[in-house]
């Protein structure tokens, strides 16, 4: 496939992809496993055809249903936060969206479980996983705030939508020393927070300001 064909399909040229990777490194993504995953997953498959020319820019993009695909830096930073936990094997994602974050995680941990409340998005994400041959991601259509008790406990629970408070039902699905990665709503706006469970309770670390769509309850067709 020549360069013009790559651009017409939304695929990244080696130069475009390297520019994105360099940008991630400049902003503090240091884990080679995350960078390799960002290189391996074709982001253009997860965006609308009219926006494929922007697929490898470091920006969020609309995916329909008032939802977005997160900017690559935020995806990489949240993925790096997963790997900062030793011996992590399973991740529960609240909010599948396009499926891009789950696809990245599939390269980093043994098992990914992802719940999406919007049926059409869940269906499309399932289609993309099949197309990419990703077999270690399980997808569920349902209310993410209920979690996925059948496969609990999880080493990490990751929210890809902003919430004021993590539901108790989800916290109970975390391992004893697990981590929650959540965009949390505060008076100042939204901030990415790492919540670490320990024998002495919870330790929190605020990473950076972020902008995510809000967590909603129930399901939508």
Does some domain include residue 82?
yes
> Which one from 49, 50, 70, 98 is the annotated catalytic residue?
70
User: What's the pLDDT at 100?
Assistant: 98
Does some domain include residue 38?
no
C-alpha pair distances (Å), 84 with each of 21, 31, 100, 106, 125: 20, 9, 20, 16, 26
Does some domain include residue 20?
no
Structural domain of residue 195, as residue ranges?
57-209
Does some domain include residue 153?
yes
Does some domain include residue 220?
no
The arithmetic mean of pLDDT across residues 143-164, rounded, is: 96
Q: How many structural domains is the chain composed of?
A: 1
Does some domain include residue 175?
yes
Does residue 198 have an active-site annotation?
A: no
Does some domain include residue 7?
no
> Percent of the chain having pLDDT more than 70?
95
Residue-wise pLDDT for 111-134, tens only, equals: 999 999 999 999 999 999 999 999
Mean pLDDT of the chain: 92
User: What's the pLDDT at 3?
Assistant: 34
Does some domain include residue 26?
no
- For residue 103, what is the domain's CATH number? 3.40.50.150
Residue-wise pLDDT for 1-12, tens only, equals: 333 334 444 466
């Amino acid at each position: 496939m020549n360069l013009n064909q790559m651009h017409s399909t939304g695929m990244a040229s080696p130069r475009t992809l390297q520019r994105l990777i360099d940008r991630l490194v400049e902003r503090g993504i240091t884990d080679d496993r995350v960078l390799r995953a960002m290189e391996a997953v074709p982001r253009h498959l997860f965006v609308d055809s009219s926006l494929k020319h922007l697929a490898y820019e470091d920006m969020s993009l609309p995916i329909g249903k008032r939802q977005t695909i997160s900017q690559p830096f935020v995806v990489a930073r949240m993925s790096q936060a997963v790997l900062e936990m030793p011996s992590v094997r399973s991740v529960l994602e609240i909010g599948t969206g396009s499926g891009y974050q789950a696809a990245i995680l599939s390269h980093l941990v043994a098992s990914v479980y992802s719940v999406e409340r919007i049926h059409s998005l869940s269906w499309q994400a399932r289609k993309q996983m099949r197309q990419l041959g990703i077999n270690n991601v399980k997808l569920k259509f349902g209310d993410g705030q209920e979690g996925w008790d059948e496969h609990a406990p999880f080493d990490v629970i990751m929210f890809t939508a902003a919430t004021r408070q993590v539901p108790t039902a989800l916290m109970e699905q975390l391992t004893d020393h697990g981590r929650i990665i959540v965009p949390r709503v505060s008076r100042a706006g939204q901030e990415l927070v790492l919540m670490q469970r320990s024998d002495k309770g919870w330790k929190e670390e605020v990473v950076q300001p972020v902008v995510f769509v809000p967590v909603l309850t129930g399901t939508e067709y």
